[in-house]
Chain A
Amino acid sequence: MYKQEVIRRIFLCCILGLLFPFSLLAQQAVDVTAKADTNSIRIGEQIKLQLTATLTAQQFKDANFKVLFPVLPDSLDHFEVVTRSNLDTLVNQDQHILHQTFTLTSFDSGHWEIPPMRFEVFSGANATPDSAITLPIGVDVNTVAVDTTKAFKPIKEIKGVAWSIWDYWLYIVIGAAAVLIIGGLIWYLRTRKKPEPVIKTPTVSPYEIAIQELKALKEEKVWQQGDIKQYYTRLTDILRTYFEHQFSIAALEQTSEELLQNIKPVTKLNQQRDKLRSLLAIADLAKFAKLQPTADEHQECMQKAEEILEWTKPKTGAAEETGTDATLEKA
């Protein structure tokens, strides 16, 4: 009896299931779609693939009801996933639409299909798993059409990047800083106070030194002892040193002729130069040609040297000034 009742109920359910199949699944059914924004792209172009799951308000509120979107790997067959958006929800009257957008691209030419997407659906108190699958989407990936009848075109020039001052700001700042530092250093070195040279107080003027040395030469009686060459060497050296220190003429480094030329501004009269010339001529002969002048000539040369010193002697005030220079040069 009980067995018959059970059989009758099963049979009834089968009949009802065959007659009203959707009403039985009404609790779990989720509308899922996959849409592409285009079915034809050029190689490398991008496609927006939108996955959508539409839930009723009741399903959305049901805590046990869950829809899991498919997790796409980075590469599908012939397609690459470029970007993927977050899951978003739209409320439309009594429907809740969940959607996620993927950016795909393909580098293989041909006709390819974006594979069906599997959504996992959990419902009921036991979270019974189920699946909802979208339809595949066909996409034509085309290559760029090349007109082979036309000639090859040259390689395009490299396009220059527009110059911008901001690309070089660091160099400009470093350069400006270097210029400022160098400028500052130069300014500092130029404006800093230099230590003033210590000026020694002159004690003896070149004129006085020359007079003293001539006196010493006389007293030493050099030519009287037969050292003629030494006598004339010292005599001319006294005069040359005097000219060098008193008038800043490099007399020690000049020959007799050069000295006579350079002494012109100092010796105002020809007579003075003539005396100097004759003195230097005799001295040169004594020094370089072993000439033995007479005793009178020795004394005459000494007298000429004294006269030259006397004529070219600076005035009292000026003597002290030049004396300072002379002392400095000697130092």
Chain B
Amino acid sequence: MENTSSDIRQLNEKIHQASAFVDLLTMELGKVIVGQRYMVERLLIGLLAQGHVLLEGVPGLAKTLSIKSLSSAINAKFSRIQFTPDLLPADVIGTMIYNQQKNEFVVRRGPIFANFILADEINRAPAKVQSALLEAMQERQITIGDTTFKLDEPFLVLATQNPIEQEGTYTLPEAQVDRFMLKVVIGYPTKEEEKQIIRQNLNPELSAPIRPIIHPSDILEARKLVREVYMDEKIEKYILDIVFATRNPEEYKLNKLKPLIAYGGSPRASINLAWAAKAYAFMKRRGYVIPEDVRNICFDVMRHRVGLTYEAEAENVTSENILSEILNAVEVP
């Protein structure tokens, strides 16, 4: 159905009102999370765009606190799974156990049956466990025995990876990484932020507990509106240009990137870029997407979808460097 000018104006107003909770939510989370606004913003994009987030950062950067607080603020169920080498798929999704009283097998649901899942250090567990989680992420349903269970919505997985300790880890294959909508790299807080963190931890009574701001059903309503955010054909072309430039850089006068890229973004990259741009526009209280929205989330959507060659690794070229080059070469509509 073709959107008219008045439709978009109405949608814009509607979204302007409906997205007010984003600021409230951010403020509420700010009561316990000092700094890390970027990470919180990305979590909300994932939540609104029905995507999952892979977080890369050293330990102690409030990853658990963030998702736990977000869960509390939305009044949703949260569970944390620490991935270890001896973890089994049943430890994640659940299993059938024998009930002696009833003389039958009953389903024992695993920790994945929650709205918010923190999969801590996902690369510590073997491939079969990773696959079990990633399949659940994709299908949003679990099959235990003969029974299939739909996972509760909203369902958001925040998986973490530690970038420094690679010994004894099971690196996620490209196909699995592609299932995450965003890969967010977070750094240390600033000096001022860290000072505040110390004070807050020394005097926990000063920080107020997180209050539920919205209900999970509000998130589902917001998702419907995100889907309605208008994306012009020019923006679609811009997204396609960026993704295609990662596949065929020579077509965008970026011949120097050709030997550095092993593989470019998949169609899932284009889909996720469009979804994330819409979610970002929603968070900025707009009913339409502008090129800034695409650029803003481009690195987080694309960084894990651009494969580097050995040559690039030898020259210390990162996927971020490549994406910067592409964004500086592709014409903005």
Contact = CB atoms under 8 A, between A and B. Distances in A.
Interface of A: 233, 250, 252-257, 284-285, 287-292
B306 interface: no
B87 interface: no
Interface residues of B, number: 25
Contacts of B286: 289
A254 B235 CA distance: 14
A274 to B, nearest CB: 19
Interface string B224-242: 0000001010110000000
Interface of B: 3-5, 8-9, 12, 230, 232, 234-235, 286-292, 295, 327-333
Given A255-B291, A284-B290, A290 B3 contact: yes
A254 B333 CA distance: 9
Contacts of A253: 327-332
A287 B290 CA distance: 9
A250 to B, nearest CB: 6
A297 to B, nearest CB: 13
A254 B291 CA distance: 9
Given A253-B330, A255-B292, A255-B295, A289 B234 contact: no
B332 A289 contact: no
A213 to B, nearest CB: 17
Given A255-B291, A256-B292, A257-B292, A287 B5 contact: no
Contacts of A250: 328
Contacts of B327: 253
Question: What 8 A-B pairs are tightest by C-beta distance, nearest first?
Answer: A289-B288, A290-B5, A288-B232, A255-B291, A255-B292, A292-B5, A252-B331, A290-B8
Contacts of B328: 250, 253
A290 B327 CA distance: 25
Contacts of A252: 331-332
Nearest to B332: A255
Interface centre among A233, A252, A254, by most chain B C-beta atoms within 10 angstroms, is A254
B179 to A, nearest CB: 29
Given A250-B328, A255-B332, 7 more contacts: A253-B327, A253-B331, A253-B332, A284-B290, A288-B288, A289-B287, A290-B8
A288 B292 contact: no
B234 to A, nearest CB: 6
Given A257-B292, A284-B290, A290 B333 contact: no
Contacts of B232: 287-290
A222 B268 CA distance: 38
Nearest to A285: B288
Given A250-B328, A253-B327, A288 B295 contact: no
